[in-house]
Structure 1
């Protein structure tokens, strides 16, 4: 009986350690993302502002209407792509409506830099996007770039 309990304990320990090994490991892409973003900015001769969180944004047109907050519901037209130019998502010209507290952190922080009618670019490091894990075809650790136009604050 003593040996059976020891064997069961050892198996339980082995199984629990093995299952933990299969969990995806979170990776910090901060340094790589920063270099990718700054290289993109330099290559495209952009004048970007960096926030304290690491978000970069470019204001092409500030807009003249209402300015949203991080909890506003907005309608935005956008194109999302990687630094190599490959598009991963795009709205129709009339845009889509959503709450800024329901989207990636890069949008929650970035869209309020524009007023209605404003447009620009959000350069989102992975920690403000989908993190280090794959999401809906977007590879973990990806820098996401969005051309955005704030149509309305609803």
Structure 2
């Protein structure tokens, strides 16, 4: 009994320790150069001509759309497919799309979706710093470049 109680206390203590090494916080890795090379290779391999924003987001507008254009604070309905540069899919919306506020998503989407008008479609290529950063998130490895096929259905 005494050893069982000790094991439980030790388990609780270890599970509450912050992710530090030698009392130093874990520092995010800067994937900027690696992501840039990966994106340029993806564009060349797929014969895509993309625009690049000042933040490093790449985008291709295949259908400009004719409706309203959202702002960074808009609520939108978007149909999308998310995948890596290897073309392995990690997420997809229902055909009817999904609705969300642009303040509730990764920075690459907040910036990128505002480049489309209702009815527009294209591709967003999001470097890690505009996505989930250098740490893994829900199965997406840290430092990942994310590619999204986007169709802006509506600005709500």
**Aligned twin of 2:13:** none
Which structure has the greater CA radius of gyration? Answer: 1
**Aligned twin of 1:5:** none
Structure 1's unaligned 5+ residue stretches are 1-16
Structure 2's unaligned 5+ residue stretches are 1-19
CA shift for structure 1 position 24: 3.2
The 2-side partners of 1:125 and 1:119 are apart by 20
**Secondary structure at the residue paired with 1:112?**
helix
**Aligned twin of 2:130:** 128
The 2-side partners of 1:102 and 1:85 are apart by 25
Q: Which has the higher helix share?
A: 1
**Secondary structure at the residue paired with 1:146?**
strand
CA shift for structure 1 position 25: 2.9
**Match for 1:24 among 16, 26, 30?**
26
Alignment pair present for 1:57 and 2:38 = no
Give the alignment of 1:67-86 within 5 angstroms.
67-86=69-88
**Secondary structure at the residue paired with 2:103?**
helix
The 1-side partners of 2:78 and 2:22 are apart by 42
TM-score by length of 2: 0.85
CA shift for structure 1 position 140: 0.5
**Secondary structure at the residue paired with 1:110?**
helix
CA shift for structure 1 position 19: 4.9
Aligned alpha-carbon RMSD (Å): 1.5
**Aligned twin of 1:112:** 114
- Describe the superposition over 1:9-61 as per-residue Cα deviations: whole angstroms up to 9, x where unpaired: xxxxxxxx85524x433100000000000100011011100000000000000
Q: Structure 1 residue runs of 4+, over 6 Å off?
A: none
